[in-house]
A and B are shown apart, each in its own frame.
Chain A
Amino acid sequence: MAIRPLPVYETDQDFYQALLRREERAYQFLYSTVFPSFRNWVLTNNGTEMDAEDAFQKGLMNFLLNLEIGKYQLQASARITTVAFEYCKRVWLTELNSARLRHHAPMPTRIDAVDTGDVEKDLERMTIVSAVQKSLHQLKDVCRNLLEWFYVEELSLRDIAQRLGMKEESVKSKRYQCAERLKELYLQTAKKEGL
Protein backbone atom coordinates (compact mmCIF):
# COMPACT_ATOMS: atom_id res chain seq x y z
CA MET A 1 0.00 0.00 0.00
CA ALA A 2 1.35 3.38 -0.94
CA ILE A 3 1.97 5.76 1.91
CA ARG A 4 0.79 9.29 1.38
CA PRO A 5 3.47 11.79 2.32
CA LEU A 6 2.59 14.65 4.57
CA PRO A 7 2.12 18.02 2.92
CA VAL A 8 4.84 19.68 4.95
CA TYR A 9 6.63 22.46 3.06
CA GLU A 10 5.07 25.33 1.21
CA THR A 11 8.08 25.98 -0.99
CA ASP A 12 11.13 24.06 -2.14
CA GLN A 13 13.24 26.70 -0.42
CA ASP A 14 11.67 25.74 2.93
CA PHE A 15 12.18 22.08 2.13
CA TYR A 16 15.81 22.71 1.14
CA GLN A 17 16.53 24.54 4.39
CA ALA A 18 14.89 21.77 6.41
CA LEU A 19 17.03 19.16 4.68
CA LEU A 20 20.11 21.23 5.42
CA ARG A 21 19.14 21.15 9.09
CA ARG A 22 18.52 17.39 8.80
CA GLU A 23 15.01 17.76 10.07
CA GLU A 24 13.35 14.46 10.63
CA ARG A 25 10.13 15.48 8.88
CA ALA A 26 12.03 16.67 5.83
CA TYR A 27 13.79 13.33 5.53
CA GLN A 28 10.51 11.49 6.01
CA PHE A 29 8.85 13.62 3.37
CA LEU A 30 11.68 13.08 0.90
CA TYR A 31 11.74 9.35 1.53
CA SER A 32 8.02 8.73 1.34
CA THR A 33 7.59 10.97 -1.72
CA VAL A 34 10.43 9.61 -3.82
CA PHE A 35 10.84 5.97 -2.84
CA PRO A 36 7.53 4.52 -4.13
CA SER A 37 8.02 5.92 -7.63
CA PHE A 38 11.72 5.07 -7.66
CA ARG A 39 10.97 1.53 -6.56
CA ASN A 40 8.49 1.14 -9.42
CA TRP A 41 10.98 2.54 -11.85
CA VAL A 42 13.69 0.08 -10.78
CA LEU A 43 11.26 -2.83 -10.92
CA THR A 44 10.44 -1.95 -14.50
CA ASN A 45 14.12 -1.51 -15.33
CA ASN A 46 15.64 -4.90 -14.63
CA GLY A 47 15.86 -4.45 -10.87
CA THR A 48 14.52 -6.11 -7.76
CA GLU A 49 13.16 -4.73 -4.50
CA MET A 50 16.61 -5.04 -2.98
CA ASP A 51 18.20 -3.26 -5.93
CA ALA A 52 15.67 -0.45 -5.55
CA GLU A 53 16.36 -0.02 -1.88
CA ASP A 54 20.11 -0.23 -2.29
CA ALA A 55 20.26 2.31 -5.12
CA PHE A 56 17.83 4.55 -3.30
CA GLN A 57 19.93 4.69 -0.16
CA LYS A 58 23.09 5.37 -2.14
CA GLY A 59 21.42 7.98 -4.33
CA LEU A 60 19.91 9.84 -1.40
CA MET A 61 23.21 9.73 0.44
CA ASN A 62 24.98 11.30 -2.55
CA PHE A 63 22.29 13.90 -2.94
CA LEU A 64 22.11 14.89 0.72
CA LEU A 65 25.87 15.03 1.09
CA ASN A 66 26.12 17.27 -1.97
CA LEU A 67 23.34 19.41 -0.59
CA GLU A 68 25.15 19.87 2.73
CA ILE A 69 28.55 20.66 1.24
CA GLY A 70 27.04 23.07 -1.29
CA LYS A 71 27.76 20.96 -4.36
CA TYR A 72 24.04 20.86 -5.01
CA GLN A 73 22.35 24.26 -4.98
CA LEU A 74 18.61 24.74 -5.10
CA GLN A 75 17.45 25.42 -8.65
CA ALA A 76 14.18 27.02 -9.65
CA SER A 77 14.02 24.79 -12.70
CA ALA A 78 13.93 21.45 -10.86
CA ARG A 79 12.01 20.29 -7.83
CA ILE A 80 14.07 18.79 -5.02
CA THR A 81 12.18 15.52 -5.18
CA THR A 82 12.86 15.33 -8.92
CA VAL A 83 16.56 15.91 -8.43
CA ALA A 84 16.71 13.32 -5.64
CA PHE A 85 14.94 10.85 -7.92
CA GLU A 86 17.52 11.50 -10.63
CA TYR A 87 20.40 10.95 -8.22
CA CYS A 88 18.97 7.55 -7.31
CA LYS A 89 18.22 6.76 -10.92
CA ARG A 90 21.77 7.46 -11.95
CA VAL A 91 23.09 5.16 -9.25
CA TRP A 92 20.96 2.34 -10.65
CA LEU A 93 21.90 3.18 -14.23
CA THR A 94 25.57 3.13 -13.25
CA GLU A 95 25.13 -0.29 -11.71
CA LEU A 96 23.17 -1.51 -14.71
CA ASN A 97 25.85 -0.17 -16.96
CA SER A 98 28.57 -2.14 -15.22
CA ALA A 99 26.31 -5.21 -15.38
CA ARG A 100 25.65 -4.51 -19.07
CA LEU A 101 29.37 -4.44 -19.75
CA ARG A 102 29.58 -7.85 -18.10
CA HIS A 103 26.49 -9.35 -19.77
CA HIS A 104 26.07 -7.23 -22.93
CA ALA A 105 22.49 -6.30 -22.04
CA PRO A 106 20.84 -3.13 -23.43
CA MET A 107 20.47 -0.01 -21.30
CA PRO A 108 16.84 0.53 -20.36
CA THR A 109 16.28 4.25 -20.34
CA ARG A 110 17.49 7.70 -21.16
CA ILE A 111 18.89 10.02 -18.52
CA ASP A 112 16.91 13.17 -17.90
CA ALA A 113 18.60 16.53 -18.15
CA VAL A 114 18.61 17.30 -14.44
CA ASP A 115 21.90 18.30 -12.92
CA THR A 116 22.87 15.47 -10.62
CA GLY A 117 26.60 15.97 -10.74
CA ASP A 118 29.00 13.15 -11.38
CA VAL A 119 27.54 10.01 -9.91
CA GLU A 120 30.70 7.94 -10.33
CA LYS A 121 32.74 10.47 -8.40
CA ASP A 122 30.06 10.58 -5.75
CA LEU A 123 30.13 6.81 -5.44
CA GLU A 124 33.94 6.79 -5.27
CA ARG A 125 33.70 9.40 -2.53
CA MET A 126 31.79 6.89 -0.46
CA THR A 127 34.90 4.72 -0.22
CA ILE A 128 36.60 7.62 1.57
CA VAL A 129 33.57 8.06 3.78
CA SER A 130 33.57 4.37 4.59
CA ALA A 131 37.30 4.45 5.47
CA VAL A 132 36.78 7.41 7.81
CA GLN A 133 33.97 5.64 9.55
CA LYS A 134 35.88 2.39 9.90
CA SER A 135 38.65 4.40 11.52
CA LEU A 136 36.19 6.09 13.84
CA HIS A 137 35.07 2.71 15.11
CA GLN A 138 38.66 1.81 15.94
CA LEU A 139 38.94 4.72 18.36
CA LYS A 140 38.49 4.24 22.07
CA ASP A 141 34.98 4.97 23.29
CA VAL A 142 35.82 8.29 24.88
CA CYS A 143 37.36 9.67 21.67
CA ARG A 144 34.69 8.20 19.42
CA ASN A 145 31.94 9.68 21.57
CA LEU A 146 33.59 13.06 21.75
CA LEU A 147 34.09 13.28 17.98
CA GLU A 148 30.58 12.02 17.26
CA TRP A 149 29.07 14.51 19.66
CA PHE A 150 31.01 17.38 18.16
CA TYR A 151 31.01 16.56 14.45
CA VAL A 152 27.95 14.37 14.00
CA GLU A 153 25.49 15.65 16.59
CA GLU A 154 27.04 19.12 16.40
CA LEU A 155 27.03 19.71 20.15
CA SER A 156 29.06 22.65 21.39
CA LEU A 157 32.29 22.18 23.32
CA ARG A 158 30.47 23.63 26.32
CA ASP A 159 27.70 21.02 26.11
CA ILE A 160 30.25 18.25 25.77
CA ALA A 161 32.21 19.63 28.72
CA GLN A 162 29.03 19.49 30.79
CA ARG A 163 28.36 15.93 29.75
CA LEU A 164 31.84 14.83 30.65
CA GLY A 165 32.21 16.97 33.74
CA MET A 166 35.34 18.55 32.23
CA LYS A 167 36.47 22.10 31.55
CA GLU A 168 35.73 23.43 28.09
CA GLU A 169 39.42 24.04 27.38
CA SER A 170 40.23 20.44 28.31
CA VAL A 171 37.53 19.18 25.96
CA LYS A 172 38.97 21.34 23.20
CA SER A 173 42.42 19.81 23.67
CA LYS A 174 40.95 16.34 23.91
CA ARG A 175 39.08 16.87 20.68
CA TYR A 176 42.34 17.84 18.98
CA GLN A 177 44.09 14.72 20.31
CA CYS A 178 41.19 12.50 19.26
CA ALA A 179 41.04 14.06 15.81
CA GLU A 180 44.78 13.46 15.36
CA ARG A 181 44.35 9.85 16.44
CA LEU A 182 41.47 9.48 14.00
CA LYS A 183 43.67 10.85 11.24
CA GLU A 184 46.41 8.31 12.00
CA LEU A 185 43.91 5.46 11.85
CA TYR A 186 42.38 6.84 8.68
CA LEU A 187 45.75 7.07 6.95
CA GLN A 188 46.44 3.45 7.88
CA THR A 189 43.03 2.35 6.60
CA ALA A 190 43.35 4.36 3.41
CA LYS A 191 46.78 2.86 2.73
CA LYS A 192 45.50 -0.65 3.37
CA GLU A 193 42.57 -0.11 1.01
CA GLY A 194 44.64 1.61 -1.66
CA LEU A 195 42.81 4.93 -1.51
Chain B
Amino acid sequence: MKLSENQFELIEAYLNNELSAMDRASFENDIQTDADLSAEVDRQRELRLGLRALGIQQRLEQTRTAYKASLSASKPTAEQPAPVRPLLRWPYWAAAASVVVVLGIGYYAYEQTASRQADLALTETVTANANDDLLKSFPTDQVSAQTRTTFLDALTNYKAGRYDRVIEQLKVLPADKKTVAYKNYLLGLSYLANKQAAQAIPLLVKARQTSSNELHRKAEWFLALAYVKNNQKERALPLLKQISADRTHPYQSLAQRVLRKIQ
Protein backbone atom coordinates (compact mmCIF):
# COMPACT_ATOMS: atom_id res chain seq x y z
CA MET B 1 0.00 0.00 0.00
CA LYS B 2 1.46 3.32 -1.08
CA LEU B 3 0.91 5.87 1.66
CA SER B 4 0.25 9.55 1.22
CA GLU B 5 2.36 11.86 3.36
CA ASN B 6 -0.66 12.53 5.57
CA GLN B 7 -1.35 8.84 6.07
CA PHE B 8 2.29 8.31 6.92
CA GLU B 9 2.20 11.08 9.53
CA LEU B 10 -1.02 9.73 10.99
CA ILE B 11 0.37 6.21 11.41
CA GLU B 12 3.52 7.61 12.93
CA ALA B 13 1.53 9.68 15.41
CA TYR B 14 -0.49 6.58 16.29
CA LEU B 15 2.60 4.44 16.85
CA ASN B 16 4.19 7.19 18.94
CA ASN B 17 1.04 7.51 21.09
CA GLU B 18 0.64 11.10 20.00
CA LEU B 19 -3.04 10.99 19.00
CA SER B 20 -5.78 12.28 21.25
CA ALA B 21 -8.01 9.64 22.85
CA MET B 22 -10.76 10.37 20.36
CA ASP B 23 -8.49 10.27 17.32
CA ARG B 24 -6.85 7.12 18.58
CA ALA B 25 -10.18 5.36 19.02
CA SER B 26 -11.27 6.46 15.58
CA PHE B 27 -8.00 5.29 14.02
CA GLU B 28 -8.21 1.93 15.76
CA ASN B 29 -11.69 1.54 14.42
CA ASP B 30 -10.32 2.18 10.92
CA ILE B 31 -7.63 -0.44 11.48
CA GLN B 32 -10.24 -3.02 12.41
CA THR B 33 -12.28 -2.42 9.32
CA ASP B 34 -9.50 -1.89 6.81
CA ALA B 35 -7.18 -4.87 6.32
CA ASP B 36 -4.78 -2.88 4.13
CA LEU B 37 -4.43 -0.19 6.74
CA SER B 38 -3.94 -2.80 9.44
CA ALA B 39 -1.17 -4.46 7.43
CA GLU B 40 0.41 -1.08 6.79
CA VAL B 41 0.47 -0.24 10.50
CA ASP B 42 2.17 -3.59 11.14
CA ARG B 43 4.79 -2.83 8.47
CA GLN B 44 5.47 0.60 9.94
CA ARG B 45 5.76 -0.93 13.40
CA GLU B 46 8.31 -3.45 12.10
CA LEU B 47 10.33 -0.73 10.42
CA ARG B 48 10.48 1.31 13.59
CA LEU B 49 11.40 -1.76 15.59
CA GLY B 50 14.34 -2.37 13.25
CA LEU B 51 15.50 1.22 13.51
CA ARG B 52 15.11 1.22 17.27
CA ALA B 53 17.09 -2.01 17.48
CA LEU B 54 19.84 -0.39 15.43
CA GLY B 55 20.22 2.33 18.04
CA ILE B 56 20.42 -0.24 20.83
CA GLN B 57 22.79 -2.34 18.76
CA GLN B 58 25.16 0.55 18.21
CA ARG B 59 25.22 1.36 21.90
CA LEU B 60 25.76 -2.31 22.79
CA GLU B 61 28.63 -2.63 20.36
CA GLN B 62 30.24 0.48 21.79
CA THR B 63 29.85 -0.98 25.27
CA ARG B 64 31.30 -4.31 24.21
CA THR B 65 34.31 -2.62 22.63
CA ALA B 66 34.86 -0.54 25.75
CA TYR B 67 34.55 -3.60 27.96
CA LYS B 68 37.09 -5.52 25.92
CA ALA B 69 39.46 -2.59 25.95
CA SER B 70 39.10 -2.44 29.72
CA LEU B 71 39.96 -6.12 30.04
CA SER B 72 42.97 -5.61 27.87
CA ALA B 73 44.04 -2.58 29.87
CA SER B 74 43.70 -4.40 33.17
CA LYS B 75 46.19 -7.11 32.18
CA PRO B 76 49.58 -5.51 32.89
CA THR B 77 51.63 -8.38 31.49
CA ALA B 78 49.59 -8.99 28.39
CA GLU B 79 51.50 -8.43 25.18
CA GLN B 80 48.41 -8.32 23.01
CA PRO B 81 44.92 -6.98 23.65
CA ALA B 82 42.27 -9.57 24.38
CA PRO B 83 41.14 -11.13 21.11
CA VAL B 84 37.87 -9.79 19.79
CA ARG B 85 35.81 -12.66 18.53
CA PRO B 86 34.65 -12.44 14.96
CA LEU B 87 31.07 -11.41 14.43
CA LEU B 88 30.26 -14.32 12.17
CA ARG B 89 27.33 -15.48 14.21
CA TRP B 90 26.05 -12.00 14.94
CA PRO B 91 23.85 -10.37 12.31
CA TYR B 92 25.96 -8.69 9.70
CA TRP B 93 24.51 -5.28 10.40
CA ALA B 94 26.16 -5.36 13.78
CA ALA B 95 29.52 -5.36 12.09
CA ALA B 96 29.14 -1.77 10.98
CA ALA B 97 29.11 -0.65 14.56
CA SER B 98 31.70 -3.10 15.83
CA VAL B 99 34.68 -0.86 15.39
CA VAL B 100 33.16 2.16 17.02
CA VAL B 101 35.26 3.29 19.92
CA VAL B 102 33.60 4.95 22.85
CA LEU B 103 34.00 7.37 25.68
CA GLY B 104 34.48 6.31 29.21
CA ILE B 105 37.20 3.70 28.99
CA GLY B 106 39.07 5.65 31.60
CA TYR B 107 36.85 4.10 34.23
CA TYR B 108 38.80 0.90 33.88
CA ALA B 109 42.27 2.15 33.22
CA TYR B 110 44.94 0.96 35.60
CA GLU B 111 48.57 0.42 34.63
CA GLN B 112 49.46 0.47 30.99
CA THR B 113 52.38 0.98 28.73
CA ALA B 114 52.68 4.34 26.99
CA SER B 115 51.20 2.93 23.82
CA ARG B 116 48.34 1.29 25.62
CA GLN B 117 47.77 4.46 27.60
CA ALA B 118 47.71 6.33 24.32
CA ASP B 119 45.17 3.82 23.02
CA LEU B 120 42.97 4.45 26.01
CA ALA B 121 43.31 8.19 25.75
CA LEU B 122 42.46 7.95 22.08
CA THR B 123 39.47 5.81 22.85
CA GLU B 124 38.30 8.29 25.42
CA THR B 125 38.37 11.22 23.08
CA VAL B 126 38.22 10.12 19.51
CA THR B 127 34.50 9.73 18.87
CA ALA B 128 33.54 12.85 20.74
CA ASN B 129 35.68 14.87 18.43
CA ALA B 130 34.15 14.20 15.12
CA ASN B 131 30.55 14.67 16.02
CA ASP B 132 28.64 17.56 17.42
CA ASP B 133 31.63 19.65 18.45
CA LEU B 134 32.93 19.67 14.95
CA LEU B 135 29.52 20.27 13.45
CA LYS B 136 29.03 23.34 15.57
CA SER B 137 32.06 25.04 14.10
CA PHE B 138 31.87 23.67 10.57
CA PRO B 139 30.93 26.51 8.21
CA THR B 140 27.86 24.74 6.79
CA ASP B 141 26.39 27.89 5.33
CA GLN B 142 29.58 28.94 3.56
CA VAL B 143 30.30 25.85 1.51
CA SER B 144 28.70 24.21 -1.50
CA ALA B 145 25.82 21.81 -0.97
CA GLN B 146 27.93 18.95 -2.30
CA THR B 147 30.81 19.63 0.07
CA ARG B 148 28.43 19.96 2.97
CA THR B 149 26.67 16.70 2.14
CA THR B 150 29.94 14.81 1.70
CA PHE B 151 31.30 16.15 4.93
CA LEU B 152 28.16 15.31 6.90
CA ASP B 153 28.05 11.86 5.37
CA ALA B 154 31.68 11.35 6.32
CA LEU B 155 30.84 12.35 9.89
CA THR B 156 28.04 9.81 9.99
CA ASN B 157 30.38 7.12 8.70
CA TYR B 158 32.97 8.15 11.22
CA LYS B 159 30.48 7.88 14.03
CA ALA B 160 29.54 4.40 12.86
CA GLY B 161 33.20 3.39 12.84
CA ARG B 162 33.46 3.12 9.05
CA TYR B 163 36.88 4.75 8.99
CA ASP B 164 37.92 3.26 5.65
CA ARG B 165 34.91 4.84 4.05
CA VAL B 166 35.58 8.23 5.63
CA ILE B 167 39.13 8.09 4.30
CA GLU B 168 37.87 7.23 0.80
CA GLN B 169 35.37 10.08 0.89
CA LEU B 170 37.61 12.78 2.27
CA LYS B 171 40.67 11.98 0.21
CA VAL B 172 38.85 13.10 -2.92
CA LEU B 173 36.86 15.94 -1.37
CA PRO B 174 38.00 19.22 -2.93
CA ALA B 175 39.03 21.51 -0.12
CA ASP B 176 38.97 25.28 -0.01
CA LYS B 177 40.29 27.70 2.58
CA LYS B 178 37.17 27.42 4.70
CA THR B 179 37.12 23.67 4.96
CA VAL B 180 40.66 22.42 4.47
CA ALA B 181 41.46 22.37 8.19
CA TYR B 182 38.32 20.34 8.93
CA LYS B 183 39.11 17.96 6.12
CA ASN B 184 42.69 17.43 7.33
CA TYR B 185 41.55 17.03 10.91
CA LEU B 186 38.83 14.47 10.24
CA LEU B 187 40.97 12.61 7.74
CA GLY B 188 43.84 12.53 10.21
CA LEU B 189 41.55 11.39 12.99
CA SER B 190 40.16 8.63 10.79
CA TYR B 191 43.63 7.34 9.94
CA LEU B 192 44.52 7.39 13.61
CA ALA B 193 41.34 5.53 14.59
CA ASN B 194 42.08 3.09 11.76
CA LYS B 195 45.48 2.34 13.31
CA GLN B 196 47.37 4.17 10.57
CA ALA B 197 49.24 6.67 12.72
CA ALA B 198 51.94 7.39 10.15
CA GLN B 199 49.33 8.60 7.64
CA ALA B 200 47.55 10.61 10.32
CA ILE B 201 50.60 12.67 11.30
CA PRO B 202 51.07 14.96 8.26
CA LEU B 203 47.34 15.69 8.15
CA LEU B 204 47.15 16.59 11.83
CA VAL B 205 50.26 18.75 11.46
CA LYS B 206 48.44 20.70 8.74
CA ALA B 207 45.15 20.80 10.69
CA ARG B 208 47.03 22.25 13.66
CA GLN B 209 47.88 25.31 11.58
CA THR B 210 44.23 26.43 11.54
CA SER B 211 43.23 29.80 12.93
CA SER B 212 40.44 28.16 14.96
CA ASN B 213 41.76 27.76 18.48
CA GLU B 214 39.40 24.89 19.25
CA LEU B 215 40.40 22.90 16.20
CA HIS B 216 44.07 23.73 16.77
CA ARG B 217 43.97 22.21 20.26
CA LYS B 218 42.18 19.10 19.14
CA ALA B 219 44.58 18.56 16.27
CA GLU B 220 47.49 19.10 18.67
CA TRP B 221 46.22 16.46 21.08
CA PHE B 222 45.61 13.83 18.44
CA LEU B 223 48.92 14.64 16.80
CA ALA B 224 50.65 13.88 20.12
CA LEU B 225 48.83 10.54 20.31
CA ALA B 226 49.73 9.78 16.70
CA TYR B 227 53.40 10.37 17.51
CA VAL B 228 53.16 8.01 20.48
CA LYS B 229 51.50 5.36 18.36
CA ASN B 230 54.12 5.82 15.67
CA ASN B 231 56.96 5.39 18.19
CA GLN B 232 58.15 9.00 17.78
CA LYS B 233 58.62 9.73 21.44
CA GLU B 234 60.94 12.67 20.78
CA ARG B 235 58.16 14.45 18.89
CA ALA B 236 55.37 13.41 21.24
CA LEU B 237 57.11 14.62 24.40
CA PRO B 238 57.23 18.38 23.76
CA LEU B 239 53.61 18.39 22.62
CA LEU B 240 52.40 16.41 25.62
CA LYS B 241 54.40 18.61 27.98
CA GLN B 242 52.91 21.70 26.44
CA ILE B 243 49.35 20.37 26.71
CA SER B 244 49.96 19.08 30.25
CA ALA B 245 51.13 22.50 31.37
CA ASP B 246 48.15 24.34 29.92
CA ARG B 247 45.34 24.52 32.46
CA THR B 248 42.91 25.70 29.86
CA HIS B 249 43.63 22.87 27.45
CA PRO B 250 40.67 20.46 27.22
CA TYR B 251 43.04 17.46 27.18
CA GLN B 252 45.36 18.53 29.97
CA SER B 253 44.65 15.64 32.35
CA LEU B 254 44.70 13.01 29.62
CA ALA B 255 48.01 14.38 28.34
CA GLN B 256 49.43 14.20 31.85
CA ARG B 257 48.41 10.54 32.06
CA VAL B 258 50.08 9.65 28.77
CA LEU B 259 53.13 11.72 29.69
CA ARG B 260 53.60 9.82 32.95
CA LYS B 261 53.79 6.60 31.01
CA ILE B 262 56.34 7.92 28.58
CA GLN B 263 58.71 9.52 31.04
Residue of A nearest to B6 (CB): A176
For B27-68 the 0/1 string (1 means CB < 8 A from A) is 000000000000000011011111111111111101110110
Could you say which residues of chain B place their CB within 8 Å of the CB of A69? Answer: 49, 52
Describe B's contact surface by its main secondary structure: helix
CA–CA, A162 and B138, complex, Å = 12
Task: Flag if B102 contacts A24 (CB, 8 Å).
Answer: yes
CA–CA, A39 and B153, complex, Å = 38
For B75-99 the 0/1 string (1 means CB < 8 A from A) is 1000000000100011111101000
Residue of A nearest to B102 (CB): A24
Task: Flag if A183 contacts B51 (CB, 8 Å).
Answer: no
CA–CA, A148 and B51, complex, Å = 8
In the complex, whether B180 has a CB less than 8 A from a CB of chain A is no
Task: Flag if A133 contacts B63 (CB, 8 Å).
Answer: no
CA–CA, A32 and B71, complex, Å = 10
In the complex, whether A163 has a CB less than 8 A from a CB of chain B is yes
Choose the segment among A9-17, A112-120, A122-130 that binds chain B (4+ C-beta atoms closer than 8 Å). Answer: A122-130
What residues of chain B have their CB less than 8 Å away from a CB belonging to chain A? 2-3, 5, 8-9, 43-44, 46-60, 62-64, 66-67, 70-71, 74-75, 85, 89-94, 96, 102-104, 107-108, 135, 140-141, 145, 148-149, 152-153, 156
Q: Other than the known A31-B67, A61-B60, what 17 A-B pairs have Cβ atoms closer than 8 Å? A: A32-B67, A32-B70, A49-B85, A57-B64, A65-B56, A128-B46, A132-B51, A132-B53, A136-B51, A137-B93, A165-B148, A179-B47, A180-B3, A180-B8, A186-B47, A186-B50, A187-B43
